[in-house]
Amino acid sequence: MPENDTTPAIQFQGVVKRFGDNVVLDGLDFTVAQGDRVTLIGPSGSGKTTILRLLMTLEEANDGLIYIDGDPYTHEMRGDKRVAIPDKRRSLVRRRVGMVFQQFNLFPNMTVLENIIEAPIHVLGKSKAEAIAIAEELLDKVGLSDKRDERPNKLSGGQQQRVAIARALAMEPEILLLDEVTSALDPELVADVLGVLRNIAETTDITMLIVTHEMQFAREVSNRVLMFDKGKIIEEADPETIFTSPAHERTQEFLRAIL
């Protein structure tokens, strides 16, 4: 992990997120260092996915600030007032963040290749030839070179998810958010997807934020695990410690239920 840069990749400062009366995140503070692989665990409704969605601007925090590489993302302080940053400026920061979804969300009106090259061409301004070259390399990496010209609905769930990973990587993100990426897959397809992600973790220094129920995978890939409960981090440790000797009672309960 590169330690030369001390600016955190991600920083949450007193982030509050409410859905109606339901407070999902209650003044959350945490930082993720460059190149960190952080797994978020905890019971459903504890706010893990909300953190990813805030980082993708799919939800908006009710209070608090989020920084990416030290840059204010959705809101900033002007004097002592918290003001929203317009979408044009958010977009420049958002470009550094990629996300893979539980439901893949490939575009059905495009082929596999078109799915991957769409944003690099139109958002990053790459030439078509360059975008295709990168896409082919990524398809090779996820083991789907032969599916290049297929429509997504001709692929299995596992294959679709691998395309979705390639599509996210084609944007050359500094931060990759993985939102329960194997939860919608048949058990026999999970291994392929996790293999691809393991490979990416080993060969790149992308900062990863992972929400998953695959504890074995979390153990192998991440260097830090955060245990969430009711919108707060209740325990934080390296995977070895948290999975073998969790300190907090809620963590013990949770792991006992899930393992």
Say whether 217 sits in a helix, a strand or coil.
helix
197 is an interface residue for other proteins by CB under 8 A: no
135 is an interface residue for other proteins by CB under 8 A: no
Encoded tokens for 223: 């260097």
User: Exposed, middle or buried: residue 17 (CB in 10 Å: 0-12, 13-18, 19+)?
Assistant: buried
Q: Toward other proteins, which CB reaches closer, 160 or 222?
A: 160
User: Which region among 36-44, 92-100, 214-222, 235-243 touches other proteins (by CB under 8 A)?
Assistant: 92-100
Tell me if 182 sits within 8 A of 212, measured CB to CB: yes
Task: Show the binding pattern over residues 149-188: x = contacts other proteins (CB under 8 A), - = does not.
Answer: xxxxxx---------x--xx--x-----------------
Which sign, positive or negative, has the C-alpha torsion 67, 73, 179, 198? negative
Tell me if 15 sits within 8 A of 66, measured CB to CB: yes
129 is an interface residue for other proteins by CB under 8 A: no
Q: Give residues 98-117 in contact with other proteins (rule: CB under 8 A).
A: 98-99, 101, 103, 105-109, 114, 117
Residue tagged 């006992």 (tokens): 256
Report the DSSP beta bridge partners of residue 237. 225
Q: Toward other proteins, which CB reaches closer, 103 or 223?
A: 103
248 is an interface residue for other proteins by CB under 8 A: no
Q: Which of 1, 122, 247, 253 binds other proteins (CB under 8 A)?
A: 122
Q: What DSSP letter does each residue of 168-210 carry, written as one string?
A: HHTT--SEEEEESTTTTS-HHHHHHHHHHHHHHHHH---EEEE
| Binding residues vs other proteins (CB under 8 A) | 56-58, 91, 94-95, 97-99, 101, 103, 105-109, 114, 117-119, 121-123, 128, 149-154, 164, 167-168, 171
